[in-house]
Structure 1
Amino acid sequence: MHSEFDLISRFLAPASSGAESGVALGVGDDCALLEPTPGERLVVSVDTSVADVHFPASAPPGAIGHRALAVSLSDLAAMGARARWCVMSLTLPEADGDWVSAFANGFHALCSTTGVVLTGGDVSRGELAIGVTVMGEVPPAAALTRAGARPGDCLAVTGCLGGGAGGLARWWAGERDLASPLLRRYLLPQPRLTAGVALRGLASAAIDISDGLLADLGHLRQASGVGVALSPDALPLAEGLVEALGERDARQAALRGGDDYELLVSLPPECLEEARHRLAALDLPLTVIGRFTSEPGLSGVDAASSAGWQHFPGETP
């Protein structure tokens, strides 16, 4: 049986991060000491992933570790931020060293590919849950926010949609092969960090798609004070989605399913081609799926059930 301190030192402490990491003091003390880049603003977000709410408890532990970090990093991507550091709280039903080792491998692998340094955290006993706070940096005038879309701007989305919902459906249908594109989209989402940085200076507003296209578009519309004419036939559907769910349910998954972690952006028409050019260099498509309007509300689709995922459904203000 491992103690929480043993779990941290054996599996969760990162390798030496080096002077360029901006970490003056990392794992092993009461707090981390960080050195943000002079002149840049700090960007901070937190997400909690709970077993059998945000992910199946029986999912591979490496995928759970990857996913817990990825969903938090997606928020930094939506702000156009460069990811720098993270802290994690891990709640475990038991001190299973093999499980924690595999979990940590998935978590640390995504840290490595995204340039993030784990600088501290906590391990405790209880229902399986992972809380991840991510920190990044962005130049003061470059941050992308939800407020800024203007009538006449294009509504565009990176990558493809519906894969998160399609992958979850395949999991509950018994699919376990992580080579499946849909299952990978759900269990191993890729935060669009480089895309967010590439869209600085072009996008007028942005949000990541976590709760569903229509739900997150509602947040963007509300913050910007605009309406949207949506073109649902233009939605880029994830590979294998129609074959798995059928045409109708595939489009519903793209509209309402959530867990896609793509970027939904507002772009002035004159910036569209440059945005596509920058994302093409990242091998990432950008698809126009509508236009922002001065008329409030949403047209082009039945928005009666556009709330998307909510932990506590109720009246929406």
Structure 2
Amino acid sequence: MNSEFDIINRYFSRPVRNALLGPGDDAALITCTPGMDWAVSVDTLVSGRHFFLDIEPSTLGHKVLAVNLSDMAAMGATPRWITLSLTLTETLAQDDAWLKAFSSGFFALADQYQIELIGGDTTSGPLNIGVQIIGEVEQGKALRRSDAKPGDDIWVSGFLGDAALALQFLQQRITLTEQEATPCLIALYTPTPRVVLGKALVNVAHSAIDISDGLLADLGHILERSDVAATVDFDRIPCSPALKNKLQQENATRQLAIDCLLSGGDDYELCFTAPENRHDVIAQLAQQTGVKLSRIGKIVPGKGLAVLNANDNPLIFNNKGYDHFLTR
């Protein structure tokens, strides 16, 4: 029978090297590197809302950390430390195979970025997972949502919409071949946080955000905070062959694909704005990081966001992104 402290000691206790004090006391102790600012973020993933109950535990361990790393990437920060709050059902608390797989997936990604688990909490209840992440960025250099300028180009990394398309596939609202489904399911279950890219964008981009709730919603946050408007060319938004195929279909399938691309969420790619004279630098960053970077639009004076088709006519859309309290 696993107690709370058995779970912590067996699966989540590791020595720390970069913190003054790690797990085992009432609080951890850390010191900020001179000349750096702290970047702090927290995410909660709720079973049945953010992930299916039958998800592979190692995959879940990866994703709960990846979504937090994506926040660090959007700020241009280097992730350093994490805390983990784990609410487990009584069944999972006694499932050693599940706990071992979850912690293995979690720590595999943490080790990739040399991040230390410095504390947290374990309790009983419906499965919920909260991760707080702490990173560092050079003082005054953090990428923010509030610094987009008229004339900036709008860029995004990777492909958008694949995670949302995978969800539609799992919910049997759309059909995909095995070849189409595989990369979409990878995007949904094990997203790649763009930490290296985010750090490289410091001193290059004016503003940035990670795309977690959909392009329309998240770019909209930049526009609101920066008090500017934007135009986006729909045909320039990068998407995978699977999603492109669905965009070429008719009626309901095409509309669903449009919603995945613009509003689906769970992409964990970066959307950023940068001056026109940074094109060559951004092209070099794409080569250096191995991440596809696509210029999709323009920041302009005013308010609002217009998505234009090939004829420069604005598209009409009802779904503007994910909202925890409005989306069902």
Q: TM-score, normalised by structure 1?
A: 0.92
Residue correspondence of structure 1 range 97-176 to structure 2 within 5 A: 97-173=96-172
Which residue of structure 2 aligns with residue 45 of structure 1? 41
- Structure 1 position 278, deviation (Å): 1.5
| Partner Cα separation in structure 1 for residue 124 and residue 62 of structure 2 | 21
Indicate which of 284, 295, 303 corresponds to 1:277: 284
Distance, in Å, in 1 between the alignment partners of 2:169 and 2:107 is 27
Segments of structure 1 that go 5 or more residues without pairing to the other structure are none
Q: Which amino acid aligns with 1:108?
A: F
Give percent identity, aligned residues only. 42
* Corresponding position: 1:211 with 2:213: yes
Asked if the contact 1:225/1:296 (under 8 Å) is kept, the reply is: yes
- The superposition leaves residues 50-82 of structure 1 with CA deviations (integer Å, 9 ceiling, x where unpaired) of 011011111101111111111111111100000
The match for 1:223 is 225
Question: Do the aligned partners of 1:276 and 1:285 also contact (CA within 8 Å) in 2?
Answer: no
CA RMSD of aligned residues (A): 2.0
d(CA) in 2 for partners of 1:3 and 1:52?
Answer: 25
Q: Which runs of 4+ in 1 moved over 4 A?
A: 243-247
Residues 303/72 of structure 1: CA separation in 2 closer, same or farther (3 Å cut): farther
Match of 2:326 in 1: 313
Instruction: Find the aligned partners of 2:185 and 2:83 in 1 and give their Cα distance.
Output: 27
1:226-270 deviation line (CA, Å, top 9, x unaligned)? 111110111100353334676523332110100000000001000
Matched with 1:258 is: 265
CA distance in 1 between counterparts of 2:27 and 2:213 reads 32
Q: Give the TM-score of the pair, scaled to structure 2.
A: 0.89
Once residues 113 and 240 of structure 2 are traced to their aligned partners in structure 1, the CA distance between those partners, rounded to angstroms, is 23
Partner Cα separation in structure 1 for residue 116 and residue 283 of structure 2: 30
* Cα deviation, residue 313, structure 1: 2.1
| 5+ residue gaps, structure 2 | 309-313
Q: Structure 2: how far apart are the matches of 1:243 and 1:59?
A: 27
| Equivalent-residue separation in structure 2 for 1:264 and 1:36 (angstroms) | 28
Q: Is the 8 A contact 1:228 1:293 kept in 2?
A: yes
Amino acid aligned to 2:68: S
Cα drift, residue 273 of structure 1: 1.7
Structure 1 residues 161-170 or 78-87, which shifts more?
161-170
The residue type equivalent to 1:307 in the other structure is K
State the SS of the aligned residue for 2:289: coil
Shift of 1:121: 0.8
